[in-house]
Amino acid sequence: MSAPGGTRGTVLVLGVGTGLGPAVARRFGREGYRVALVARNRDRLAALAAQLAGEGVEAAPFTADLSRPAEVPELVERVRARFGRIDVVVFAPLDLAGFTPAAELTAQAAGRLVDLYYLTPVALVRAVLDELRGGGSVLIAQSVSATEPAPDLSGIGPAMAATRNYAQSLAAEVARHGVHVATLQIGGMITGSAVHAALRSGAIDPDVDFPELDPADVAEELWRSHTARDRPDGRFPPLG
């Protein structure tokens, strides 16, 4: 898929923090994609957009609270107003509040995580699906707890599992229209991320050992998924 102006198109990266998001922006930007950066911290997004510009990547910041699915259509319209259209969606937020023991999880906390990890992706798909036909992708990066339940991760795991179920159904429905939908279960802590920093400081202490992962390697796997379009579900690093 190509877009006006000689670019490969626009990638919408949602949940841009200090780990995976910047790596995804750089990987797609290196291939000629313009990058829409979405998170709550505008100053950090603006600084990243400036860094990317210095690397020859056109990028723009868009502030949004992704735990509010009702606001997704307005966000998408802001991105369209800046870039014209959206060609790839990469959804990769991770909320530290989601590292919750099952015995301590409340309905209110679970509801917010369902909004963030499940209802917002549903709202995104409804907002962008038509323009993805003929070569676009929806890529959802998740914690491996979506498929491998673990102590102290019972906030994010169930919400992400619902999203994975939805994404697999969606993938089967839209593949014939040239839309690639895939989830990637990440079985490690991405270096440089807020979660990685919280683990190293002891602010969070899940009863699971995770390997450290280079965000560039995870971004490469997401790029591979977009270009190879060969499977709707994957794990990184792969087992075995």
Give residue limits of the domains in the chain: 4-236
Query: Which class is domain 4-236?
Result: alpha beta
Is the model's pTM score more than 0.75?
A: yes
HSE-CB for 33 with a 13 A CA cutoff: 25
Residue 43's CB: how many other CB atoms inside 10 A?
9
For residues 236 and 240, give the distance between their C-alpha atoms in angstroms, rounded to a whole number.
Answer: 11
What's the start-to-end Cα distance of the chain, in Å?
A: 34
Lowest mean pLDDT among 13-27, 53-67, 183-197: 183-197
Confidence check: pLDDT of 63 > 70: yes
Assign 74 a pLDDT band (cuts: 50, 70, 90). Answer: very high
Q: Give the pLDDT of residue 204.
A: 58
Confidence check: pLDDT of 202 > 80: no
Q: Give the pLDDT of residue 208.
A: 60
Q: Give the pLDDT of residue 209.
A: 65
For residues 202 and 69, give the distance between their C-alpha atoms in angstroms, rounded to a whole number.
Answer: 31
